[in-house]
């Protein structure tokens, strides 16, 4: 799955639908629609991005909602914790520091998901490995956006994008980086293969470049979701369905019957049913033989008597026929 965690949100539905459809055709499976706030934050920050878009979204694409805060002063950080809750309406919180002090605070202790730097400007300080390593150890991802460099009209902005991206890749050693589009229009969007090749020009290996749009981006989205739906990012309570009814455990009697162990009361058999199956004893065989002999002798006597009657009748017939 390919991820683009920074797709600028616009209220023009036609442009937004065209951009989402084009990114889906490029092969992206998860898109984060982003809103950017700068200056003084309002008292009540509400998410203008609806949970369900009014137009049809490709079925292979999942939509998240993101908020990017441009931090110009560390005193603005006291309300950021409220934006990481599930009730805020945002799935991902990104910060964009503008100076070294706010960047150091964001990398060290600020509760956010992504640190996204504006690569089109020149920073008056050098990036430090110790600063970014703290953010990576806390699970915060460093974002590189290629869209502003592609859409820039002057060569200076493109040069700044290349310089800053190369410096960040060198400082972080390619770890904890995600690459997003931040494309204002469809013409600035690129496919995953083009991003890997572009990252290779910046000095990021192909394996790390592929992880920047797959593994690292997925880890960022999953960690942000766990942070908002669990207790301190450790325990997540989810609905797993109704608990299945357990079958009653078999009793000892049923177990014995299953094993073929029958009680003494069950050992009584029906005589008519079981005598046909049991072999005959010697006494029964003798009794049956005696009854058979008796029946044979009775039949023999009956046959002898019938023969005598027939002989007597024949003799009478013969005597009457003589002259």
What count of other Cβ atoms lies within 10 Å of the Cβ of residue 45? 16
Q: What is the pLDDT of residue 193?
A: 94
Q: Give the model confidence (pLDDT) of 79-129 as tens digits.
A: 676 666 666 788 899 999 998 999 998 898 888 899 999 999 999 889 999
> What's the rounded Cα separation, in Å, for the pair 166 and 115?
16
The mean pLDDT of 297-301, rounded to a whole number, is: 67
User: Which residues, other chains included, contact 225 with Cβ-Cβ below 8 Å and sequence gap of 6+?
Assistant: 91
Mean pLDDT, range 303-308, rounded to an integer: 59
Q: Which of these, 169, 77, 69, 76, lies nearest to 114 by C-alpha position?
A: 69
pTM: 0.68
Q: Taking Cα atoms as reference points, which of 220, 76, 77 lies closest to residue 144?
A: 220
Pairing of strands 28-37, 114-116: unpaired
Alpha-carbon distance of 82 to 62, in angstroms, equals 25
Angle between helices 206-213 and 215-229 in degrees, nearest 10: 30
Q: What is the pLDDT of residues 254-281, one digit of tens each?
A: 767 766 655 545 555 455 544 555 677 8
The 3-state DSSP class for residue 164 equals helix
3-state secondary structure of 124: coil
| Average pLDDT of every residue of the chain | 82
Mean pLDDT to the nearest integer, 62-87: 77
Say which residue the tokens 């009814």 belong to.
245
Q: Which residues contact 217 (CB under 8 A, 6 or more apart)?
A: 3, 4, 5, 30, 141, 178, 180
pLDDT at 276: 52
CATH numeric code, 2-231 = 3.20.20.140
Provide the pLDDT for residue 8: 93
Measure CA 148 to chain center. 35
CA atoms of 69 and 82, how far apart (whole Å): 13
Q: What sign does the CA torsion over 104, 107, 109, 115 have?
A: positive
> Each residue of 169-207: pLDDT tens digit?
999 999 999 999 999 889 999 999 999 999 999 999 999
Report how far residue 131's alpha carbon sits from residue 224's, in angstroms, rounded to the nearest whole number: 21
Q: Which residues of 240-278 are buried (b: 16+ CB within 10 A; e: fewer)?
A: eeeeeeeeeeeeeeeeeeeeeeeeeeeeeeeeeeeeeee
Please indicate whether residue 161 or residue 230 has the higher confidence score (pLDDT): 161
Residue that has been written with the tokens 């050098």 in this structure? 126
Residue 82: closest CA among 67, 103, 63: 67
Q: Bigger pLDDT: 320 or 292?
A: 292
């Amino acid at each position: 799955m390919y991820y683009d965690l920074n797709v600028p949100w616009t209220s023009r539905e036609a442009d937004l639908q065209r951009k989402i459809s084009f990114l889906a055709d490029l092969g992206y499976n998860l898109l984060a629609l982003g809103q950017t706030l700068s200056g003084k934050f309002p008292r009540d920050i509400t998410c203008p991005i609806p949970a369900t878009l009014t137009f049809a979204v490709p079925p292979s694409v999942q939509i998240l909602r993101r908020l990017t805060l441009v931090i110009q002063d560390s005193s603005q950080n006291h309300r950021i914790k409220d934006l990481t809750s599930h009730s805020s309406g945002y799935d991902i919180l990104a910060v964009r520091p503008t100076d070294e002090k706010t960047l150091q605070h964001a990398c060290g202790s600020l509760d956010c998901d992504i640190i996204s730097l504006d690569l089109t400007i020149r920073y008056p300080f050098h990036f430090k490995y110790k600063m970014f390593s703290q953010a990576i150890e806390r699970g915060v991802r460093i974002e590189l956006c290629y869209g502003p460099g592609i859409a820039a009209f002057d060569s200076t902005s493109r040069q700044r994008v290349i310089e800053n991206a190369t410096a960040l890749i060198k400082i972080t050693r390619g770890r904890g980086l995600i690459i997003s589009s931040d494309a204002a229009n469809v013409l600035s969007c690129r496919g995953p293969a083009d991003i890997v090749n572009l990252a290779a020009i910046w000095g990021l290996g192909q394996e790390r470049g592929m992880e920047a749009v797959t593994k690292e981006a997925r880890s960022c989205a999953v960690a942000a979701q766990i942070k908002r739906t669990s207790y301190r990012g450790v325990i997540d309570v989810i609905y797993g369905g109704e608990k299945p009814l357990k079958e009653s455990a078999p009793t000892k009697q049923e177990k014995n019957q299953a094993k073929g162990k029958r009680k003494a009361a069950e050992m009584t058999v029906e005589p008519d049913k079981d005598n046909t199956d049991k072999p005959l004893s010697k006494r029964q065989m003798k009794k049956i033989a005696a009854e058979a002999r008796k029946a044979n002798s009775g039949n023999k006597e009956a046959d002898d008597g019938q023969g005598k009657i027939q002989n007597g009748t024949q003799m009478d017939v013969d005597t009457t026929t003589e002259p």
